[in-house]
Structures are given as structure tokens and as C-alpha cells.
């Protein structure tokens, strides 16, 4: 077994079942040093949110008060664990000592909030398990478990594990089969027919992995048997593969994907192939029925609703594309990618990260709509950002927070962790971040990879290998599904590659070997038909440059509501040239030629709309002639 795989497993035994099931594994912390737009966002969120000691203190205080969610049966209980998980992901990318200290201090503070019964809860005993109580208890388990993976103090880890067992054991005494005098997990809350409560499956399985205590696996099996809701067994529906998730009796996207993350962990622990199949079928269905051009889902606020077609419904004025959905989709895709090595899910993570997620980052720290570090909803047709705060709850002294603001950091951290991963006999390069990876070969010898690129705004990538001695191993280079024209070489010698696959480079590598990759640099036209909608019903177009969706913005010249005719070439690309200036900071800007020989300016979607006001009204799908207008050149 590869030394890299062993290193990942040794970091925390919660991951031990993956040794038998997975093909990819995250690298150990402190393996990379990256720069670029993604890392700028990660550092920004680390500084203005994750290192905010007062914010962590506020979240812990909700548990110290014991009953802060009683009055409205709310979800203040989710904030701490959700953001702790994100903080741990981000630390693994930045390895910042100050961030680690803040996280450790908050964990110790939370440990002191455990009550005499073993509960970490913002609900009184009289109201427990109602509303979002189990959901919040889930996030305590997850936040603590992910901190254990980075914890540098064995004694603290032992304290955490003991506290988590007490926390879980209390629930096991109360929750379970009705014929045992217990409260059924899928009837513990009226919300979404128990879907939110059933998502505790994931950390319960991970707790079994950590302890080996069969009672936790038995409880997980009970949750799986109940199927996620009180009105339908969603796990069986996914296995049968006859319906899209938007056709299930319950369609809450975020919570449903969280349940399937738990089902995947259950498969890893038990090896029951049926549940592996169910997860993969579910993920593929979501991708095809509900993921939009920017890599999110839910055009009916936060519900699966066949968003792939509904994204083009101009009559829909609801908030849409929730950041919680974006991040949870990314996490599910990463789990499935590690399990299968299917490059489709690497493409999906990149699509979400560079568009929906980076678009939600409040770079300019605008104060509209609470001004939290992440926006909650993302427009597709002409509209604006900052329309509402997802999951907002008031707390003491005029404070408040939202669910999307808490989860965003997990998506950013995951985007960094996913860039380069360990394979069983080498490394897989999933996306191309400027910087370096310092790790080991499969035999445990020092290995470095230096990547020089401006990706994603530039599609030329150069990777240089550093080794102390020659060794044979594999590099898997992702060739994105969006890239039709590609050139790959090793030391100047052309290597065949095909889009939508990993190019397998298995050879004896020596110090100084160079891998060069050039990806498609055309601006491509995306039509409604690509999502199963007729242009006659939805007269809109979208443009993509590599993984980047482009957008119109009211601050650029031209009326974004005015219908335009794009000058298209016969290969499906638009006539586009790089723009030298933009009235706002952006990753990339293009002058897009129109068939009447005028032009419009467009930037990357993630940079558009960032005032969160009407003055930066924006559109990914913009009114346009959907015919191939080929100019007479």
C-alpha cells in the first residue's frame, strides 16, 4: 500500500474503512502551498471569519445557555459544528498556526458546555429532539470529529472522543424502534419528515470507526433501515433508480445529500454493495436532473426541483441556488470521487467551486443583507446577489447569523484539498493551482511537484517533478470534460489524452521531469438545448471559458435585459477577445463580438454582482438570439 494512503489513514481511524473501498485519498495536512484566486478567497475567509474569536464564543454560548432554540425550535445549534468542520478543512490547506489555535480554543470551550447528561444541545430536556435538535447534535459530532483529524494533542483527542461517546450514548438511549419504547429517528421532528434528523447517520458511522463499538454500527443500521424519512425510504428509491431526487416525496436538497453522505460512510464500514450502488445512482441523478450551469441546485429556494431545466424559467422569482446546497453537493462529489475515481465528479467539484461558491464570497465586505462572509443565494437569469440570508437566526445583543455563512468555508477548504490527492500507486491531479505540493512517493521517498499556471484564466499548465532518486509510479492528470482540444506532453514528448478522463502517466520518474498540458482556450456557447430546454421556450444563452461561466453585469456597457445576437463560429465558440479593463475586479474579462459587429463585455460569473445591489444586476443566462449567428468575416 502507498505510503501516502497509509499517512491519510493514520491521521484518524474514522477513515480506516476507506483502505478497502476507495481509490483516492486526501493528502496529509501541510502538503501544499498554493496561490491564485481560490487561495485568495480561502485566506480572506480565514482572516475575516474563521479567526474571529468573538464569533466562536457566540456560537459556543448558545450551548452554554442550554435552551436558546426552545422558543422557535431553531437551528442555532448547527452554527458551531458546521463552521468547525470548515475551519478544519481550511487549516489543512493553509496550515496557519493562528487558525489552529483559535479552533483548538473553541473546541475546549465547547467541551465545557456538555451538560451532566452528556448532551451538547441548545434545547432543554423538555423540548429535546424537536425541531432541529438532532441536526445540531449531528454537527457537534462532525465538528469535533474533523478537529480530531488535525488535533496535535493526544490527550485532547481522548477527551473529545469520550465526550462524543457520552453525547451519542444519550441519543441511543432515547432514539430507536418504537417497539422498544423509543422515539423513531424519522419522527423526531416534523421538519421534512425526519430527513434532517436522519442525517446524523454520517457521524454515527464515523464514531463506530473511531471506537469499534458495535452499538454505533447497530444504530446506523437502524437509521438506514428507516430510509431517511417517515413517508418514504429514500435509500431504496435511490437503489431502484426509477426516479430523480426531485421526484421523491421529500425534496429538501441539502439535508437529503447529507443523508446520502452518511449512507456512503455506512457502505464503507459494512461493505454492503447495495448501498454503494444507491449512492452512486443518487449522485448521477442529481447531476443530470438538478445541477445548473454554475454548479448548484434548487431553483425553488433550497429544493430539488429539476433545476437543470428550471434554471431557464423566467417566471420563477424565488431565491435560488443556496450556498449550503452548493457546498454539500461538492462534499458528496468529493466522497464519490474518492470512492470511484470517476473524473465526472472532479469536473463537478470544479464547476461548483469556481462559479457558485466563489461567487458567494463577499470579497468587498458589503453590508447589504447583513453583509456576512458568504451570500446565500445565486442568480442565473438577470437578477442580483444579496437577496436574502439563508438560515438566519437572531442571537443575543442584536447578533445573528446564517447557515450559508457557516458552511461556505468547508467548500473553500475542500476545493483546496481536492486539487491533488493520493492514488494507490501515485498521485491524481484534479485541478491546477499555481504552487507546489510536497509529499512522498508510494515507497515513502520525498516527492515535490511544482505547478506553474494562471489557471483557470490561463489554460497552460507546467508541472515539474522533484525527486531524490528515480522511482516508478503513476501520475493521473485530469483532462476536463469541457476541454475538447488538449495537448499533453512529458519532457516534450506528446502523450495521448482524451477529455473527460484521467491521462495515466505510469513511468519511472526522475528529478526535473516536466509535464506540460494545454487545455481548450475557446469561449464556448451554451444553449438551452444543452439542458433539455427549447430555445424557443427560453431565448437565452450562456458562455463558458473553461470551467468559468461568464456573466453580464450592469456595471459593464450595455443593458443586460436587452436581447443580443452573439457572433458564433461553426465550432460552437463565440468570437471573443480578452478585455484589458473592467470597472470592477475580476478574474477575467472578454469582449464578446455581436453579429452586428458591436460587442459586449462579460466577466467571470464569480466576480459579477458583488455590490449585492441593483447597480450590479447580473446574468449568467442572458437574453439572446439562440441561433448560430456566423458573421461574414
pLDDT in tens, 437-463: 999 999 999 999 999 999 999 999 999
Q: Is 490 found in the same domain as 564?
A: no
Going by C-alpha positions, the residue among 160, 249, 248, 253 that lies closest to residue 203 is: 160
Residues 513 and 569 in one domain: no
C-alpha cell at 422: 493520493
Quick one: 511 and 537 in the same domain? no
Q: Are 31 and 348 in contact (CB under 8 A)?
A: no
Assign 2 a pLDDT band (cuts: 50, 70, 90): confident
Could you count the other beta carbons within 10 Å of the beta carbon of residue 35?
A: 12
Residue ending a domain, choose from 518, 545, 563: 518
User: ∠ at Cα 457 (310, 594), nearest 5°?
Assistant: 60
Q: Does residue 547 form part of some domain? A: yes
Task: Say how far apart CA 625 and CA 238 lie, in whole Å.
Answer: 39
C-alpha closest to that of 245 among 226, 225, 221, 228 = 228
3-class SS shares of the chain: helix, strand, coil, % to 5:
45, 20, 35
Last residue of a domain, one of 518, 538, 556: 518
Q: Is the pLDDT of residue 29 over 70?
A: yes
Of the three residues 468, 502, 518, the one that is the final residue of a domain is: 518
Q: Where residue 5 falls among pLDDT bands split at 50, 70, 90? A: confident
110 assigned to some structural domain = no
Residues 619 and 559 in one domain: yes
Residue 13 lies in a domain: no
Cα 452–Cα 455–Cα 461 angle in degrees, nearest 5 = 40
Per-residue model confidence as pLDDT tens digits over 300-339: 989 999 999 999 999 999 999 999 999 999 999 999 999 9
> Could you give the number of structural domains in the chain?
2
In terms of domains, do 593 and 608 share one?
A: yes
Residues 432, 491, single domain; the answer is: yes
Domain limits for position 489: 425-455+460-518
Do 476 and 507 contact (CB within 8 A), yes or no? no
Question: For 189-217, what is the mean pLDDT?
Answer: 96
User: Worst-scoring range by mean pLDDT, 528-532, 575-579, 623-627?
Assistant: 623-627
Tens-digit pLDDT profile for residues 515-572: 999 999 999 999 999 999 999 999 999 999 999 999 999 999 889 999 999 999 999 9
Is there a single domain that holds both residue 504 and residue 544? no
Q: Tens digits of per-residue pLDDT, 181-197?
A: 999 999 998 889 999 99
562 plus 606 within the same structural domain = yes
Q: How many CB atoms lie within 10 A of CB 550?
A: 26
Q: Are residues 506 and 584 in the same domain?
A: no
Phi, psi for residue 438 in degrees, rounded to 5: -120, 115
Torsion sign over Cα 463, 466, 470, 473: negative
On whether residue 555 sits in a domain, the answer given is: yes
CA distance 154 to 161: 11
Mean pLDDT of 155-177: 98
| Residues 476, 552 share a domain | no
pLDDT digits (tens, 9 = 90+) for 593-605: 999 999 999 999 9
Residue 429 sits in a domain of what CATH number?
A: 2.60.420
Does residue 366 form part of some domain?
A: no
For the residues 52-74, what does the mean pLDDT come to? 96
Question: How long is the chain?
Answer: 633
Peptide bond into 365 cis (omega under 30): no
Q: Is residue 597 part of a domain?
A: yes
Inter-axis angle of helices 133-150 and 201-211, nearest 10: 40
Query: For the segment 419-439, what is each residue's pLDDT rounded down to a tens digit?
Result: 999 999 999 999 999 999 999
The answer to whether residues 572 and 502 belong to one domain is no
Average pLDDT over residues 383-403: 95
Residue 629 predicted with pLDDT over 70: no
Within a domain: 189: no
Residue 568 sits in the same domain as residue 546: yes
Minimal CA–CA distance to 540: which of 552, 528, 551? 528
What is the rounded average pLDDT of the residues 388-410?
A: 96
169 domain residue, yes or no = no
Amino acid at each position: 500500500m502507498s505510503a501516502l494512503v497509509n499517512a491519510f489513514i493514520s491521521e484518524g481511524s474514522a477513515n480506516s474503512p476507506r483502505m478497502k473501498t476507495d481509490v483516492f485519498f486526501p493528502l496529509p495536512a501541510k502538503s501544499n502551498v498554493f496561490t491564485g484566486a481560490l487561495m485568495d478567497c480561502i485566506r480572506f475567509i480565514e482572516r475575516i471569519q474563521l479567526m474571529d474569536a468573538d464569533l466562536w464564543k457566540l456560537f459556543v454560548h448558545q450551548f452554554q445557555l442550554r435552551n436558546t432554540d426552545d422558543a422557535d425550535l431553531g437551528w442555532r445549534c448547527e452554527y458551531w459544528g458546521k463552521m468547525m468542520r470548515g475551519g478544519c478543512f481550511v487549516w489543512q490547506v493553509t496550515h496557519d498556526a493562528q487558525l489552529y489555535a483559535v479552533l483548538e480554543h473553541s473546541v475546549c470551550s465547547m467541551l465545557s458546555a456538555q451538560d451532566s447528561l452528556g448532551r451538547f444541545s441548545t434545547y432543554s430536556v423538555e423540548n429535546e429532539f424537536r425541531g432541529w435538535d438532532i441536526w445540531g447534535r449531528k454537527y457537534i459530532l462532525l465538528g469535533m470529529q474533523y478537529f480530531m483529524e488535525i488535533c496535535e494533542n493526544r490527550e485532547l483527542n481522548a477527551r473529545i472522543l469520550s465526550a462524543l461517546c457520552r453525547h451519542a450514548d444519550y441519543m441511543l438511549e432515547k432514539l430507536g424502534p418504537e417497539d422498544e419504547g423509543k422515539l423513531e429517528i424519522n419522527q423526531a421532528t416534523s421538519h421534512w419528515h425526519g430527513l434532517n434528523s436522519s442525517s446524523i447517520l454520517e457521524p454515527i458511522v464515523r464514531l463506530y470507526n473511531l471506537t469499534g463499538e458495535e452499538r454505533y454500527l447497530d444504530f446506523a443500521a437502524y437509521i438506514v433501515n428507516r430510509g431517511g424519512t417517515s413517508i418514504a425510504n429514500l435509500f431504496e428509491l435511490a437503489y431502484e433508480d426509477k426516479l430523480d431526487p426531485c421526484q421523491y416525496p421529500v425534496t429538501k436538497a441539502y439535508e437529503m445529500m447529507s443523508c446520502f453522505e452518511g449512507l456512503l460512510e455506512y457502505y464503507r464500514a459494512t461493505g454492503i454493495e447495495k448501498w454503494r450502488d444507491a449512492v452512486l445512482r443518487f449522485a448521477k441523478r442529481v447531476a443530470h436532473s438538478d445541477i445548473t450551469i454554475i454548479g448548484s441546485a434548487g431553483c425553488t429556494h433550497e429544493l430539488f426541483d429539476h433545476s437543470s431545466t428550471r434554471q431557464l424559467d423566467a417566471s420563477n422569482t424565488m431565491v435560488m441556488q443556496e450556498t449550503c446546497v452548493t457546498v454539500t453537493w461538492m462534499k458528496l462529489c468529493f466522497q464519490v470521487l474518492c470512492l470511484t475515481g470517476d473524473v465526472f465528479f472532479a469536473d463537478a467539484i470544479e464547476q461548483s467551486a469556481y462559479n457558485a461558491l466563489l461567487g458567494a464570497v463577499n470579497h468587498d465586505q458589503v453590508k447589504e443583507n447583513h453583509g456576512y462572509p458568504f451570500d446565500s443565494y445565486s442568480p442565473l437569469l438577470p437578477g442580483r446577489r444579496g437577496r436574502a440570508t439563508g438560515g438566519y437566526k437572531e442571537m443575543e445583543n442584536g447578533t445573528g447569523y446564517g447557515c450559508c455563512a457557516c458552511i461556505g468555508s468547508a467548500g473553500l477548504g475542500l476545493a483546496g484539498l481536492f486539487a491533488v490527492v493520493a492514488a494507490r500507486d501515485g498521485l491524481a491531479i484534479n485541478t491546477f493551482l499555481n504552487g507546489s505540493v510536497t509529499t512522498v512517493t508510494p515507497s515513502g521517498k520525498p516527492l515535490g511537484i511544482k505547478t506553474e499556471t494562471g489557471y483557470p484564466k490561463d489554460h497552460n499548465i507546467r508541472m515539474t517533478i522533484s525527486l531524490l532518486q528515480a522511482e516508478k509510479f503513476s501520475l493521473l492528470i485530469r483532462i476536463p470534460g469541457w476541454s475538447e482540444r488538449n495537448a499533453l506532453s512529458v519532457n516534450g514528448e506528446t502523450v495521448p489524452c482524451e477529455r473527460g478522463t484521467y491521462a495515466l502517466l505510469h513511468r519511472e520518474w526522475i528529478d526535473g521531469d516536466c509535464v506540460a498540458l494545454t487545455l481548450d482556450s475557446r469561449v464556448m456557447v451554451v444553449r438551452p438545448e444543452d439542458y433539455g430546454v427549447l430555445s424557443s421556450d427560453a431565448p437565452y444563452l450562456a458562455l463558458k471559458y473553461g470551467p468559468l461561466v461568464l456573466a453580464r453585469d450592469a456595471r459593464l456597457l450595455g443593458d443586460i435585459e436587452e436581447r443580443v445576437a452573439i457572433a458564433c463560429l461553426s465550432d460552437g465558440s463565440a468570437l471573443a477577445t480578452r478585455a484589458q479593463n473592467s470597472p470592477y475586479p475580476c478574474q477575467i474579462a472578454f469582449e464578446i463580438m455581436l453579429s452586428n459587429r458591436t460587442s459586449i463585455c462579460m466577466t467571470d460569473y464569480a466576480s459579477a454582482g458583488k455590490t449585492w445591489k441593483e447597480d450590479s444586476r447580473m446574468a449568467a443566462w442572458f437574453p439572446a438570439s439562440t441561433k448560430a449567428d456566423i458573421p461574414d468575416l
